[in-house]
Amino acid sequence: MNIIQNTFQVMLHTLRFVANKLTRSYATQSTWRQQLDLILSKYLPWRNVIGTKNKNTYRLKDQTCVELRLIGPQDRKRYLKGFSRISSRTNINRFHTFKTGFTENELSYLLDIDNMHHLAIGAINCKKNDLGIGLARYIRQADQPDRAEVAIIVIDEYQGRGLGKLLYHKLIDKALENGIVTLNNVVMKDNRAMLHILKQMGAQQVSETEQVYELELQLSNLSKASQKPSNKHHFQHSIKNASIMVI
């Protein structure tokens, strides 16, 4: 069975490689290119957009094109605009209380980061670069540098499309690159989407309060299948700094 699965994956990767080569030789908006892009979406989840040279561009389940980048102080306006779009439920699930806004010190803490010990990956719609749609963040623990605290958020209108899972997978890539082997997640009990993602990855519950679960994800225990979506190649590309809003 493993041999068959591996062979199938090789075939899919080969098909994608040929498709990219071909589509870059013709008009990027051609009908046949769009049809091929749609067909491959069924077999290569979270793949890069065919024909694009941007390695940080992906398709969600509904074919929405999203772009992922590390974030920084230049993302302040996008950050605040995205925050203004989230519902009370999403607000509480992320901050564990209803947060009405940010102080200057809080904004500096969230945006003026080194993207190594404190790292955040933001997402935007490829066609709307003034609005951030999601963020995955980790903060390394000072007393245990191989561990980090994680927070994930997706604004309401983009929830249910696979963006949260995509962001988490990219965060795992960067955590491993930076020597982190354990991700700690404190999740509200009614945040079913995040709990489902963590369950799929094999996270283990380590504590519980009246409102939250605390779960640990051991990255060293992740199999290749659970750590990354089926098109492994796409998650090996480095993430470059850019002006991208995050939440």
For the entire predicted model, the pTM comes to 0.72
**Per-residue pLDDT, 178:** 96
Q: Over the chain, what HEC string results?
A: CHHHHHHHHHHHHHHHHHHHHHHCCCCCCCHHHHHHHHHHHCCCCCCECCCCCCCCEEECCCCCEEEEEECCHHHHHHHHHHHCCCCHHHHHHHHCCCCCCCCHHHHHHHHCCCCCCEEEEEEEECCEEEEEEEEEEEEECCCCCCEEEEEEEECHHHCCCCHHHHHHHHHHHHHHHCCCCEEEEEEECCCHHHHHHHHHHCCEEEEECCCEEEEEEEHHHCCHHHHCCCCHHHHHCCCCECCCCCC
What would the CATH number be for the domain defined by 49-236?
A: 3.40.630.30
**Per-residue pLDDT, 14:** 57
pLDDT tens by residue, the chain, 247 residues: 555 555 555 565 555 555 454 444 433 444 454 455 555 444 444 445 444 455 789 999 999 999 999 999 999 999 999 999 999 999 999 999 999 999 999 999 999 999 999 999 999 999 988 999 999 999 999 999 999 999 999 999 999 999 999 999 999 999 999 999 999 999 999 999 999 999 999 999 999 999 999 999 999 877 443 444 433 333 333 333 333 333 4
**Per-residue pLDDT, 50:** 42
| Domain boundary assignment for the chain | 1-44, 49-236
